[in-house]
């Protein structure tokens, strides 16, 4: 069989496509939220609870999916997660109300979380240290491209005249056929993706397509890290080591604080444009600009820290320097809500999202830099669980901010749980609108950077290894 030069980039392209599909499936609900809420009689609080249910499942899955990847291997683990979430997304078409929609989104969250620890393990298996952030940037750009193209896929699918063109299908599915077909079609694409993945993916030394030169590159990089005393070459950590590790808690809290910014732009920004800027359902395709900026940020953020590594800066320090630049850009957030013109608001949003994703790539790369490969999936999952907890808190907070009318007793179990802890805060911000949240977003990344830097996350990483051969 003919060997393929630079085969690792073909592998990461498959992961990139999985990330595209992951975010297309995730964004179906938010892209069609006004239509679905109207059809199913969902309030904004109902919407927030459904998003939170998805994130609860995501958190649970994060805690176990990384361990599953470490046990089953990257190839089988990815098949399990992509197949699960694709079927769950298709089943969402059967939702008849808030409870059933929540149940299907819970199932979606159980599958979708697993792709990220699996993807990080792909990077650790196939890429040298100097290329890891760029590789993570490539597949994360897939997520942002998925979010970018989702409105252009799902909104036309929902608007298609099924009653006229496909009456038999309309008779079969009935009310709400447009948005229901959007879930079915986008979910089916994930099942198609499984074919090339099963065909191509193997461990580097088991693959018949990888060249000897590429294997040599990986061996030299591993040897250089081991020579530098890199923890990434060490034995797997026990659960006790994971949960008592200072670096794990620093990274977990860092993602808990900062990931809510990106979750907001995924789940709430289309609703913000609809409620505050007067955008109709069809006009929400403009969000492609925001998600495209996220893609550029993820790619450039990874590339820039890779450049710093090549210049002799330790990998962990290179990530932190890029993250500092990102933290300096995020304070533009309050001006998004204050901008009089839509074009100015979108321009500032592009800056904020660009910086948010460049940050996310590098904080994710820190995990790969400082954790043994043997337990990378497990640790990545634990750290990423902080992300979803932050997302749940953000959803509940924003839902309270945008709710109108007098305060009422929390209806959903998630509302009740969060309100029991943060009740005074939620009461204080009730009805204040989106502007309050944009102000909060200005502070999150600077706070997190100071915590990571002065907490010494970079001092737990290995020294700079000698450059591997090209």
3-state helix, strand, coil in the chain (%, to 5): 85, 0, 15
Query: What is the C-alpha to C-alpha distance for residues 304 and 134, in angstroms, rounded to an integer?
Result: 8
Side-chain-side CA neighbours of residue 48 (13 Å): 25
Q: How far apart are the first and last CA of the chain?
A: 24
pLDDT at 168: 80
Residue 205 DSSP code: G
Instruction: Decide: helix, strand or coil at residue 432.
Output: coil
For 263-280, the three-class secondary structure string (H helix, E strand, C coil) is HHHHHCHHHHHHHHCCCC
Q: Which of 113, 114, 150, 140 is nearest to 30 (CA)?
A: 150
Q: Which of 425, 252, 205, 438 is nearest to 331 (CA)?
A: 438
Q: What is the set of domains in the chain, with CATH numbers?
A: 9-200+233-403+411-456 (1.20.1250.20)
Q: Chunk the chain into consecutive blocks of 10 residues (it has 470) and report each block's average pLDDT, rounded to whole numbers.
A: 85 94 89 85 82 84 84 91 95 89 92 88 84 84 82 85 79 78 92 94 86 83 63 66 88 94 87 84 77 85 85 86 95 92 91 94 84 76 84 84 67 63 78 88 96 82 39
Cβ-in-10-Å burial (0-12, 13-18, 19+) of 361 comes to buried
Tokens matching residue 279? 């955008």
Q: Are residues 415 and 383 in contact, defined by beta-carbon separation less than 8 angstroms?
A: no
Q: Is 86 left (phi over 0), alpha (psi -120 to 50) or beta?
A: alpha
pLDDT at 460: 58
Q: Are residues 465 and 217 in contact, defined by beta-carbon separation less than 8 angstroms?
A: no
Instruction: Decide: helix, strand or coil at residue 75.
Output: helix
Q: Is 339 left (phi over 0), alpha (psi -120 to 50) or beta?
A: beta
Residue 285 DSSP code: G
Query: What is the C-alpha to C-alpha distance for residues 302 and 144, in angstroms, rounded to an integer?
Result: 14
pLDDT at 463: 43
Q: Which of 23, 28, 25, 126 is nearest to 74 (CA)?
A: 126
Q: Are residues 334 and 431 in contact, defined by beta-carbon separation less than 8 angstroms?
A: no
Tokens matching residue 194? 């499984």
Tokens matching residue 241? 């080591």
The string of DSSP letters for 137-177 reads: HHHHHHHHHHHHHHHHHHHHHHHS-HHHH-HHHHHHH-TTH
Cβ-in-10-Å burial (0-12, 13-18, 19+) of 39 comes to middle
Side-chain-side CA neighbours of residue 30 (13 Å): 28
- Which residues make Cβ contacts (< 8 Å) with residue 223, sequence separation at least 6? none
Q: Which of 392, 390, 387 is nearest to 360 (CA)?
A: 387
Cβ-in-10-Å burial (0-12, 13-18, 19+) of 349 comes to buried
Query: What is the C-alpha to C-alpha distance for residues 43 and 39, in angstroms, rounded to an integer?
Result: 11
pLDDT at 281: 67
Q: Which of 124, 287, 292, 142 is nearest to 221 (CA)?
A: 124
pLDDT at 66: 81
Q: Which residue has the tokens 């040599």?
A: 216
Tokens matching residue 434? 């989106």
Query: What is the C-alpha to C-alpha distance for residues 321 and 12, in angstroms, rounded to an integer?
Result: 25
């Amino acid at each position: 069989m003919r060997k393929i030069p630079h085969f690792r980039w073909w592998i990461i392209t498959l992961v990139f496509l999985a990330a595209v599909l992951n975010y297309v499936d995730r964004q179906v609900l938010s892209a069609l939220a006004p239509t679905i809420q109207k059809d199913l009689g969902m309030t904004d609080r109902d919407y927030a609870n459904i998003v939170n249910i998805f994130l609860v499942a995501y958190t649970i899955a994060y805690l176990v999916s990384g361990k599953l990847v470490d046990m089953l291997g990257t190839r089988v683990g990815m098949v399990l997660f992509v197949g699960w979430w694709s079927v769950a997304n298709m089943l969402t078409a059967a939702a008849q109300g808030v409870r059933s929609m929540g149940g299907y989104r819970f199932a979606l969250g159980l599958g979708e979380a697993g792709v990220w620890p699996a993807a990080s393990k792909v990077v650790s298996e196939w890429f040298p240290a100097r290329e890891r952030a760029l590789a993570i940037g490539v597949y994360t750009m897939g997520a942002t491209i998925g979010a970018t193209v989702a409105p252009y896929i799902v909104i036309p699918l929902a608007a298609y005249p099924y009653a006229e063109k496909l009456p038999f299908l309309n008779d079969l599915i009935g009310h709400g056929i447009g948005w229901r077909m959007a879930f079915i079609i986008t979910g089916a694409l994930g099942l198609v993706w499984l074919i090339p993945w099963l065909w191509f993916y193997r461990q580097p030394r088991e693959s018949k397509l990888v060249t000897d030169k590429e294997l040599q590159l990986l061996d030299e990089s591993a040897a250089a890290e081991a020579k530098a005393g890199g923890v990434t070459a060490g034995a797997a950590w026990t659960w006790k080591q994971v949960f008592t590790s200072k670096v794990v808690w620093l990274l977990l809290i860092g993602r808990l604080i900062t990931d809510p910014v990106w979750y907001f732009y995924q789940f709430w920004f289309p609703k913000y444009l609809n409620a505050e800027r007067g955008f109709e359902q069809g006009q929400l395709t403009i969000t492609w600009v925001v998600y495209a900026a996220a893609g550029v940020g993820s790619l450039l953020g990874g590339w820039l820290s890779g450049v710093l590594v090549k210049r002799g800066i330790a990998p962990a320090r290179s990530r932190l320097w890029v993250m500092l630049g990102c933290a300096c850009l995020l304070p533009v957030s309050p001006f998004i809500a204050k901008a009089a013109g839509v074009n100015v608001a979108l321009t500032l949003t592009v800056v904020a999202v660009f910086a948010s994703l460049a940050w996310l790539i590098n904080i994710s790369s820190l995990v790969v830099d400082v954790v043994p490969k043997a337990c990378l999936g497990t640790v990545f999952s634990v750290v990423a669980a902080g992300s979803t907890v932050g997302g749940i808190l953000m959803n509940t907070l924003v839902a309270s901010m945008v709710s109108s009318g007098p305060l009422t007793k929390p209806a959903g179990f998630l509302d009740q749980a969060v309100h029991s802890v943060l009740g005074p805060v939620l009461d204080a911000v009730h009805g204040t609108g989106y502007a309050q949240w944009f102000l909060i977003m200005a502070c999150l990344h600077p706070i997190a950077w100071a915590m990571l830097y002065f907490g010494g996350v970079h001092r737990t990483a290995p020294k700079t290894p000698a450059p591997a051969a090209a």
